[in-house]
Structure 1
Amino acid sequence: MKRALSAVVVIAAALLLGACSEKPQTNEHGVRLDAPPWTGTGTQPNTGTAFTASGWQPGDRNSWEQHLKARMQFSQNEYTRIN
């Protein structure tokens, strides 16, 4: 019985110590964005995709920020959606 208990303790200690040696899973160069988010995802400049919100022009930062504010206020705010 003692032998089984000590084996369990040794295995548990090995598992706990093994978790301490895990390497961090980070990008060594940091986060890199190839383009600002308001430039859109189209392959040609100033073109959107089927998922582009109506009224937003790709490449227009002010329009991008206004659409984000409106989306936050009207569709992702539970207090305004309930009323």
Structure 2
Amino acid sequence: MLLAACTEKPQTNAEGVKHDAVPWSGTGTQANTGTAFTAPGWKVGDKTAWEQQIKARSNGQNEYIREN
């Protein structure tokens, strides 16, 4: 008896490795020109502003900080 089951296709990357950009580089070329998800006031390419936005976002999601 022969089993015929679904098999996973090989996951090869024909285009090679795609290196990502630094997170604070953004999607736009000027301030506030990113996507609808870009935080207002964030400056494209500003690492310090990006870190502050991430910290504010994580503090907003922290239940302990929100409740106390």
> What TM bracket, shorter-length normalisation?
0.5 to 0.7
The one-letter code of the counterpart of 2:47 is R
Q: Is the 8 A contact 1:46 1:59 kept in 2?
A: no
Percent of matched pairs sharing the same residue: 42
Instruction: Give ranges in structure 1 of 5+ residues lacking alignment.
Output: 1-5
TM-score, reference length from structure 1: 0.54
Matches within 5 A, 1:20-31: 22-24=9-11, 26-28=12-14, 29-31=16-18
Alignment of 1:1-83 (within 5 A): 10=2, 13-15=3-5, 18-19=6-7, 22-24=9-11, 26-28=12-14, 29-33=16-20, 35-42=21-28, 45-49=29-33, 51=36, 52-74=38-60, 76-81=61-66, 83=67
**5+ unaligned residues in a row in structure 2: which ranges?**
none
Indicate conservation of the 8 Å contact 2:31/2:42, yes or no.
no
Q: Tell me, in whole angstroms, the C-alpha distance in 2 between the residues paired with 1:79 and 1:31.
A: 38
Q: How many residues align?
A: 64
One-letter amino acid matched to 2:42 = W
Mapped contact 1:38–1:58 kept (Cα < 8 A): yes
Select the structure that is richer in helix: 1
Task: Tell me: higher relative CO, structure 1 or 2? Use CA pairs within 8 A at least 6 residues apart.
Answer: 2
